[in-house]
Amino acid sequence: MLLAFPYMHPELWSGADLDGLTFFDPGLTDEPAPHAYRPEGLPLDPKTAGALINDCINFGEQFKDPAEMAYFGAVTAADFYEGSSMSIQAQLSRQFDDGRGAKQEREAREAASKAQFVLLLAWAFEVRILELAGLEEGIRNGWKDMDRTIGVGDEDSLGERETALSETLSHTGGTSDGQEVRLPWQRVIEALPAFVPEDTVLVCADPEIFEVWEEFGIDFEQGEDGLMRATAPAWKFGCRRREPQGMPAALKGLTVAILK
């Protein structure tokens, strides 16, 4: 299976069309997204997943500066839970503290729920990215419509100053005002192995991620299909220097292909 990385929404895919490319669905909606891969047996059902995400969003709204919230995308899952003002850790653990199965089985289910939670957070983050992009596009189109209404031609347009003014007035954030917070893809790639088949190949078309992997010393070799591939434990693609504790999914091997 060829699985797009790091984004889970096709609208955010920046690479060329690739036959068989699919997108991961972490199970936040009642029904899987079209042309997406949703694994069976996810530990968190859509209702529970939605409640946890809402709690997390409420927590994130405490931050006035997006850079502060970015901290929680850069640390480990355990650090995130410890830093949270809410009982997200308890919510994820409580449902598996039912005495059913051996201790090892319960711990495995809890670890899987935390991995799914990371992917759910990324999914919700992407939704916000798309909402922001749509809002900004609507504002730009509104300015263009106003130009046409009042009869302003291209030669009379304010150009870049006009666009900057619209973005300043809209306060839409993101790229417009220099406060872009990138998707924490390092945590996403460490969580995915918990749910994807062993023969899955993650396909990435983001040059900035390529550069990070190159600096980290991951070597990609060209295959017969022309794709540059590398295979390593997920935590290495997550740019860690050593194996993480309490994250069994991150210890699994992954194959990643890059599209340049």
Q: Tell me: the pLDDT tens digits for 43-76?
A: 999 998 888 888 777 665 655 554 444 444 444 4
Residue bearing the bigger pLDDT, 51 or 142: 51
d(CA 57, CA 86): 11
Mean pLDDT of 137-155: 56
Q: Which of 15-19, 41-45, 81-85, 250-254 has the highest mean pLDDT?
A: 250-254
Look up the pTM and report it. Answer: 0.74
Q: Do 81 and 89 form a contact (C-beta atoms < 8 A)?
A: yes
Phi, then psi, of 43 in degrees rounded to 5: -65, -30
Mean pLDDT of 132-148: 59
Mean pLDDT of 12-24: 92
> What's the pLDDT band for 139 if we cut at 50, 70, 90?
low
d(CA 43, CA 88): 15
Chain-centroid distance, C-alpha 56: 15
Query: Residue 74 has what pLDDT?
Result: 43
d(CA 138, CA 97): 48
Query: Residue 219 has what pLDDT?
Result: 93
Mean pLDDT of 115-142: 78
Instruction: Tell me the pLDDT tens digit for each residue of 242-259.
Output: 999 888 999 999 999 999
Query: Residue 97 has what pLDDT?
Result: 56
Angle (CA) 128-129-133 rounded to 5° is 115
Q: Do 234 and 118 form a contact (C-beta atoms < 8 A)?
A: no
d(CA 84, CA 56): 8
Structure tokens at 57: 């969003």
Mean pLDDT across the chain: 77
> What's the pLDDT band for 175 if we cut at 50, 70, 90?
very low
Query: Residue 10 has what pLDDT?
Result: 94
Mean pLDDT of 225-240: 93
Mean pLDDT of 213-238: 92
Query: Residue 73 has what pLDDT?
Result: 46
Cis omega (within 30 of 0) for bond into 26? no
Query: Residue 103 has what pLDDT?
Result: 75
